[in-house]
Chains A and B, each alone.
Chain A
Amino acid sequence: MKRTIPLLIVIILGFLFVAYVFIPHKVSADFYDWYMKWIKVIGPFAVVLGVGSLIMVHTSKIKRKAPNWGYSMVTIVALVITTLTGFIWGIQEGTPFMWIFKNFNVPMGATMFSLLAFYIASAAYKAFRARSVEATVLLIAAIIVMLGRVSIGQAITHWIPDATEWILNVPNLAAKRGIGLGVGLGMTATSLKIILGIERSYLGGGK
């Protein structure tokens, strides 16, 4: 029963949505309007589920004094304080919530992302070696694009930004489109398998 009912929901709704897209009729349009109302109700439950799960995971870590339980404490405290400030004073400019956002979220988020520059520099130095013809082509393309995306490339010669545009517009575009088509076909095949009940791993519980 635990598996049959979710499976039936997926199969029935899967076929209904396919019908909605391919059969432009009042019945299918009405069905979609009805679904839209439902999704507005169901959506917020995910927040309750998410917050509940976060609290359960971290409180259990704190209780057990699991390794790095201090981080869990910080998470819970941050969650409570941010939520309370948002509920009490609102989230507009000039409120404590906005102060927390500007002075914690923004600098911490930007710091994490900017670490990429250091890793990329180190990885490029270690990995980019002209070991084969393919690696050399990749190396040259990377150098042209790196120069062409900054003004120094244009200052050297206008051929560099022109070559950069060509690399992005021709070989890059061809590869991206090929990958995109492959991913699209893969998604279609997987979706069909799910709708037809062949692929059931999303139900969990092993085989």
Chain B
Amino acid sequence: MRFSESLQKLDRRYIYIVVALAVIIPLIFPLGLKTYTTTPVEDLYRHIDAIAGRDDKAILIDFYHDPSVMPELYPMEIALIRHCFIRKIKLFTISFWPTGAPIIEMALSEVKEDFPDIKANVDYCNFGFKPNALTIPIILGMGDDIAKAVETNSEGSKLEDLPIMKNIKNYDNIQIVMQISGSTSGYLWYTYARPRFGVDVGVGVTAVMAADTYPFLQTGQLLGSMGGLKGAAEYEKLVDIFAMKGLDYSKKKARDIAWGSKQYSLSNIPYKYKKARIGMDAQAVVHVLIILFIVIGNIGYFLDKRAEKRKYVK
């Protein structure tokens, strides 16, 4: 086999081994690469943070995914819940996927460990799993009355009897619906809830779906989005910069810290709150590696082409 040919036909097993090492090594020994915040994530953070401490506003997170996409989406959910608990933002959670309901339980209990004063059904309420067939009736019904449309929380208690529902009636009291999804980028919410009731919609999606959100960000149907692990890493960072220090959001400060030359230390942050940022180190290395593979393949291709051309001229 010619050298140019061998460059184009690397055994895929070697590729797999190199990719595995490129993922594992940065996860064990984080590189501490910087996280740069972007406008779609900053918009989400600012919009959610604007209702800090308010009793008549809440956010709703729709866990629209199963465990397969958890490595990318779970850090987003943790960061959102943590933001709400720190800044006393009323939080509702719901899932129309049977496998989404346990993820809500996991995420809430994981963050709640660090917030002993946060109480279920007072500061947050888990609506739990609602059958997929009821998605549209619930989405539309919440426009009139959330307690009537959802009926019960995950423990079977009537919503209308819960303290958290005081001053919460319908979408007028929902600051934003966040759909965290691995299969759709907020489609049902911006098709049914937004045009009819005017509720703002944001999404957290896997990286492969991030490109799908851009047409809807441009039209304003989506207020903001978190794309893949990078989006989660950005939100984690914004929570650390502002919410943890009790500061109101400022784009200038966010950009100064995120884009400035000084590295933001992660050493004092618990692992569960910096998972996405550590994961981004592995992702950065793998991206560079894939680019290298592409370059190697193309060098082989052009060497091969040149050799064939010479052969033809002779």
Interfacial residues, chain A to chain B (CB-CB below 8 A): 36, 39-40, 42-44, 46-47, 91-93, 97-98, 101-102, 105-106, 108-110, 112-114, 117-118, 120-122, 124-126, 128-131, 139, 142-143, 146-147, 149-152, 154-155, 161, 165, 168-169, 172-173, 176-177, 180
Contact = CB atoms under 8 A, between A and B. Distances in A.
B68 A151 contact: no
**6 interchain residue pairs of minimum CB distance:** A43-B133, A109-B68, A109-B67, A150-B284, A125-B293, A113-B68
Given A44-B133, A113-B68, A118-B19, 5 more contacts: A93-B106, A118-B15, A142-B294, A161-B36, A176-B212
B291 interface: yes
28 contacts: A43-B132, A101-B99, A102-B106, A106-B70, A118-B16, A121-B19, A121-B286, A121-B289, A124-B294, A129-B301, A142-B294, A147-B291, A149-B287, A150-B288, A151-B33, A151-B36, A151-B284, A152-B287, A152-B288, A154-B34, A161-B36, A161-B38, A168-B211, A168-B214, A169-B218, A172-B214, A176-B211, A176-B215
Interface in B214-243: 214-215, 218, 227-228, 230
A117 B296 contact: no
Contacts of A180: 215
B215 A177 contact: yes
A43 B290 contact: no
A93 B128 CA distance: 13
Interface in B89-140: 99, 101-102, 105-106, 109, 131-134, 137, 140
A22 to B, nearest CB: 14
Contacts, number: 151
Contacts of B218: 169, 173
Interface range, B side: 35 or more
Interface in B259-273: 259
B250 interface: no
B4 interface: no
Given A120-B290, A152-B288, A125 B297 contact: yes
Contact of A36 (B101, B141, B215, B293): B141
A184 to B, nearest CB: 11
B19 A44 contact: no
Contact of B35 (A121, A146, A151): A151
Nearest to A165: B38
In terms of DSSP, what is the predominant structure of the interface of chain A? helix
Contact of A121 (B66, B132, B259, B293): B293
Contact of A113 (B15, B34, B38, B71): B71
B94 to A, nearest CB: 15
A38 to B, nearest CB: 10
B69 interface: yes
A173 B133 CA distance: 31
Nearest to A92: B105
Contacts of A43: 131-134
B207 interface: yes
B232 to A, nearest CB: 13
Contact of A122 (B12, B71, B291): B12
